[in-house]
Chains A and B, each alone.
Chain A
Amino acid sequence: GAGVSQSPSNKVTEKGKDVELRCDPISGHTALYWYRQSLGQGLEFLIYFQGNSAPDKSGLPSDRFSAERTGGSVSTLTIQRTQQEDSAVYLCASSLDAREQYFGPGTRLTVT
């Protein structure tokens, strides 16, 4: 079956612009996660959605970052007023049981 998909695969934006990153989880997976992977760094948790519950936003680095999940499926991560330190690969993962997480290919964001 289809895995997790993300779009765009690459995004180059100017400092100060807003960007939206999209994630389509595996069908039927109720849990969805966003992580960030910076060059030479490990994966950093950003936000977690589980069904219709309020999201866990504890990993968001600043109020410029937000995410939503519509209809319990597709999720969008929005970064406002991008900064150069936001440059990273943004990874989305989904899970059926909130344990084993399956990752998408990521969106490489470059802020110039």
Chain B
Amino acid sequence: EDQVTQSPEALRLQEGESSSLNCSYTVSGLRGLFWYRQDPGKGPEFLFTLYSAGEEKEKERLKATLTKKESFLHITAPKPEDSATYLCAVLSGSARQLTFGSGTQLTVLP
């Protein structure tokens, strides 16, 4: 059974204080690892897809990396508007649906 664990559950940062969110996974045959951002009362917003260990993707202040066991979402010099819940999900083997972690709730204080 696929498992995705995200840590920490919640993270409070000062504006400009860089940090990383972790997503550990156990799957049989990774077909893709996905990062989403979810604002309160809204659906998840797609950020990145990573397919193989060593791959990196960047978007503005966010950078996602992937190893064989985990993925990191690095946030550089965050701003208050980066506050949201960040979700990690995996697609594995012959599965059609994503398996999601429980998310990291990020708060960036001005």
CB < 8 Å neighbour of B97 from A4, A59, A105: A59
CB < 8 Å neighbour of A101 from B46, B99, B103: B46
Give the number of residue pairs across the A-B interface with Cβ within 8 Å. 54
Whether B98 lies near A101 (C-beta < 8 A) is yes
B-side interface residues, number (CB < 8 Å): 22
Task: Report the minimal beta-carbon distance from A58 to chain B, rounded to whole angstroms.
Answer: 8
Whether A105 lies near B96 (C-beta < 8 A) is no
CB within 8 Å for A56 and B96 given contacts A99-B32, A106-B43: yes
Residues in A with CB closer than 8 Å to B101 are 42
Residues in A with CB closer than 8 Å to B36 are 103
Whether B44 lies near A48 (C-beta < 8 A) is no
CB within 8 Å for A43 and B42 given contacts A99-B49, A100-B34, A100-B49: no
Sorted from nearest, which 4 A-B pairs have the closest CB atoms? A103-B43, A45-B97, A43-B100, A42-B102
Beyond the given A31-B96, A104-B43, A105-B42, please list 11 additional residue pairs across the A-B interface where CB-CB is below 8 A.
A33-B98, A35-B97, A42-B103, A43-B44, A45-B97, A91-B43, A91-B44, A100-B32, A100-B49, A101-B46, A103-B44
